[in-house]
A and B are shown apart, each in its own frame.
Chain A
Amino acid sequence: MSRSGERFYQTGTFAVGGRLLGEDQRAVQSDPARSNAITKGHRACQGCGEALGARYALDAALRATGGRLIAANATGCLEVFSTPYPESSWQLPWIHSLFANAPAVASGVAAALRAKGREDVRVVGQGGDGGTVDIGLACLSGMFERGDDVLYICYDNQGYMNTGVQRSAATPPAARTATTEPLGSDPGNAFGQGKSAPLIAMAHEIPYVATATVADLRDLEAKVARAMGLHGPRYIHVLVPCPLGWGSATAETILIARLAKESGLFPVFEALDGRITDVARIRRQVPVSEYLRRQKRFAHLFDGDGRPDVVERLQALADRNIERFALTAPATGGEHAGTGGGDSGGAGDDGGNSSGEERADAGIGLLDALAVSERGS
């Protein structure tokens, strides 16, 4: 799932990548003439993953459509922080109706455009995990099964952050929320609940489903561009850490998103017509504890004697993802054909490595070698 022909050893910044790359491979955000879908002045918290993800996603969609784009937004953080009366951050035509109906509103926009013969204009629906995975799921499913020409993007911060950090069906097991307080011996959110909206989307056999994180924004941009190159219902699920709700440092949003992916807790993949066609392999696998420890919502697992048994169960979830999505399997070239962006092996991919880790460990070395050999260099 590499998005460029170059491998970067620099970390954390795309400006570097933009300079080193050819014009056609540069990030949308490196373009000074980008559309700035969400412009300055919005009220998102410091370190907000959703503001970041939405900006990259919509700017990429705007570029892919030549600026011919309409967005329908669900109620939630993104809506509230972007449109405080009497201001709006949105630089594209944008409608907010209700919490549960963004996919249906987007369907309505698409139907109107079709009826009016406006084939040049495309539609994006978007919302948080509450508006998508929980209360909006019926409308989302309806939009999928009808085959409406809508890209729906879910910015998943794993809870109802706008209302004060309550549990959603996307909240991970054991996490503390305001409605899953860690009291007693079985702390936080229950195991065995919740649902995967990307897999539900895939079950509809829609043309395109992808997951992404704000740790790899080039990947997110590429996936949005890819989605806009297709028609029919498409779904992108972006993991967007929430410093407020997760109890993480505002400077660590990107790092935490990366650890979610590198631990295997959040598999990053792409699926066409209900079949997984590509996964972002883990570059340097980390134990889940490395991800969990940085977030106060999991602090009860590490206080005092801690709850190694619960951490173990979370590790088992990550291990299951790694096996199920083949997150550590070496690249096999052929299956990635056509995933765009000069893709070959995923190992060389870098949207910026976390904090200057050495790339010397054996697993990565092997993958790197494979990737390099595939390129024949």
Chain B
Amino acid sequence: MRRQLEGSQAVAQTVARCRPQVVSAYPITPQTHIVEGISRLVRTGELNGCEFVNVESEFAACSVAIGASATGARTYTATASQGLLYMAEALFNASGLGLPIVMTVANRAVGAPINIWNDHSDAMALRDCGWIQLYAADNQEAVDLHVQAYRIAEQLSLPVMVCMDGFVLTHAFEPLEVPTQEQIDEFLPAFEPRQVLDPDEPMTIGAMVGPEAFTEVRYLAYAKHIQALDTITRVAEDFREHFGRSSGGLLESHRSTDAETVVVALGSVFGTVAQVVDELREQGVSIGALAVKSYRPFPAQELSRALRAARRVVVLERALAVGGGGIVSADVRTALWRHPVDVHAVIAGLGGRAITRRSLRALLDRAAGGKLGEVEFLDLRRDIVERQLEPAAGAERPGPHAESILRELGAVRAEPV
């Protein structure tokens, strides 16, 4: 039964129906509605047999999850942005220990300048921490991915991040189908941990490993992620059979199979991209779109196959590698190393700036005309940056660009009163 629900509330209800036994969380916008929802469900008893631990930091949130998961409890936490970075050390640890924690990341920009709105800077900064990263295109998929995440995590003994765009998804109301308790119980078997702290079978977890075996341990982590490509695919197929709708998987194609130009994107912008693709198709443009649903593990072979016919790939990047350029496009280029394809990184929608159909159409027109550079910034306000980049501009007032720009715009006083 579809109900009009906020994304966060739908995720909270879904996670609760996955029967987590320990939920630890620390508030950060825009993740808060999810954990508020879960704490309420624990409080009312709707979610039975679950300990909700109000911790003092995201670092502790992940650490509590580590302890709980190692004790054999199904575990959940959620965070965003600075919070994700604050738990960075614990994230590497959780994956290194092979603990199947599931976490929602309500994707948000990372400061400075501080910014609470959506982009993928947070998850991208932690892309190599060993967690599986799944990206939801809409709220129904966000809901469904959480159910799949527990299956994938517990099957592989690996932690999974479900990335959903902050505000754009977390705070959006849509008609959504929240799986019933019976459906989830049928799809998701009880958690049987691979390793558990138990006095009946004392076990040491987290021992030191030196040069004699560290490479092998890391290789096994790599091999497990390769294995995960298969698991993610099978779990998505199984989900479709159980629930009658498609969600998750590795990639999703929208008219990309025979397209000359393919736009690659992660997350909620995919809907807008697909719309623009349809508009351009009507005009006879050979264009398609490809959503990367699983960014870690990165489905390089599948992507390479999917882009076989493409001559031009435009990667919409919701994050920026300062000093480098695109992030996802680097993975795409690596995947396409055998193909003579132009790959363009388009940095777009940073810090919550809307990616509009109009902007995308202008961008893709330029792409079709072969006018895109290697790295582009969508809707960059040239007037602002050029003033700042003038040789003399920064000299008198060294300091953060953000404050300098605000002075330029008259938003703050240029001189002390």
Cα distance A298–B51 in the bound complex, in angstroms: 49
Cα distance A151–B291 in the bound complex, in angstroms: 49
Interface residue ranges of A87-134 to B (CB < 8 Å): 88, 90-98, 100-101, 104-116, 121
- Residues of A within 8 A of B (CB-CB), count: 44
CB distance from B172 to the nearest CB of A (A): 32
| Residue among A73, A84, A104, A139 facing the most chain B CB atoms (10 A cut-off) | A104
Q: Is the CB of A70 within 8 A of B197?
A: yes
Binds A, one of B6-14, B56-64, B175-183, B248-256: B56-64
User: Does residue A52 face the partner (Cβ distance < 8 Å to B)?
Assistant: no
User: Does residue B204 face the partner (Cβ distance < 8 Å to A)?
Assistant: yes
User: Does residue B411 face the partner (Cβ distance < 8 Å to A)?
Assistant: no
User: Does residue A320 face the partner (Cβ distance < 8 Å to B)?
Assistant: no
A98 — which chain B residues lie within 8 A by C-beta?
63, 89-90, 93
Cα distance A73–B54 in the bound complex, in angstroms: 22
Q: Is the CB of B59 within 8 A of A100?
A: yes
- Binary contact track B59-78/A, C-beta < 8 Å → 1, others 0: 11001111111111101000
User: Does residue A146 face the partner (Cβ distance < 8 Å to B)?
Assistant: yes
B208 — which chain A residues lie within 8 A by C-beta?
79-80, 83-85
A-B contact count (CB 8 A): 162
Q: Is the CB of B72 within 8 A of A112?
A: yes
B203 — which chain A residues lie within 8 A by C-beta?
93-94
A79 — which chain B residues lie within 8 A by C-beta?
206, 208
User: Does residue A142 face the partner (Cβ distance < 8 Å to B)?
Assistant: yes
A93 — which chain B residues lie within 8 A by C-beta?
197-199, 201-203, 205
A272 — which chain B residues lie within 8 A by C-beta?
none
Q: Which residue of A lies closest to B56 (CB)?
A: A142
B67 — which chain A residues lie within 8 A by C-beta?
72, 95, 97, 104-112
Q: Is the CB of A85 within 8 A of B206?
A: no
The residue that B71 contacts in the complex, of A109, A141, A142, A145, with Cβ under 8 A, is A109
Cα distance A97–B70 in the bound complex, in angstroms: 10
Q: Which residue of A lies closest to B51 (CB)?
A: A111
Q: Which residue of B lies closest to A108 (CB)?
A: B67
B198 — which chain A residues lie within 8 A by C-beta?
70, 93, 121
- Residues of B within 8 A of A (CB-CB), count: 44
Q: Is the CB of A109 within 8 A of B199?
A: no
**Chain A contact residues: helix, strand, loop or mixed:** mixed
A100 — which chain B residues lie within 8 A by C-beta?
59, 89
B97 — which chain A residues lie within 8 A by C-beta?
97
User: Does residue A138 face the partner (Cβ distance < 8 Å to B)?
Assistant: yes
Cα distance A108–B202 in the bound complex, in angstroms: 18
Q: Is the CB of A96 within 8 A of B24?
A: no
User: Does residue A294 face the partner (Cβ distance < 8 Å to B)?
Assistant: no
Q: Is the CB of B202 within 8 A of A105?
A: no
Q: Is the CB of A114 within 8 A of B51?
A: yes
The residue that A139 contacts in the complex, of B59, B199, B201, with Cβ under 8 A, is B59
Interface residue ranges of A296-316 to B (CB < 8 Å): none
Q: Is the CB of B197 within 8 A of A95?
A: yes
User: Does residue A67 face the partner (Cβ distance < 8 Å to B)?
Assistant: yes
User: Does residue B21 face the partner (Cβ distance < 8 Å to A)?
Assistant: yes
Q: Is the CB of B56 within 8 A of A85?
A: no
User: Does residue A276 face the partner (Cβ distance < 8 Å to B)?
Assistant: no
- Binary contact track B190-215/A, C-beta < 8 Å → 1, others 0: 00000001110111111111101100
CB distance from A19 to the nearest CB of B (A): 31
Q: Is the CB of A141 within 8 A of B53?
A: no
| Residue among B72, B90, B205 facing the most chain A CB atoms (10 A cut-off) | B205
- 29 sample A-B contacts, Cβ–Cβ < 8 Å, listed by A number: A70-B199, A85-B209, A90-B202, A92-B199, A94-B197, A94-B205, A96-B207, A97-B97, A101-B60, A101-B63, A104-B59, A104-B63, A107-B55, A108-B53, A108-B65, A109-B70, A110-B67, A111-B22, A111-B24, A112-B22, A113-B71, A116-B21, A116-B73, A138-B59, A138-B60, A139-B56, A142-B56, A146-B53, A146-B54
- Having A107-B67, A116-B21, A116-B71, one finds 8 other A-B pairs with CB under 8 Å, namely A67-B199, A83-B208, A85-B210, A93-B197, A97-B63, A106-B67, A108-B67, A111-B53
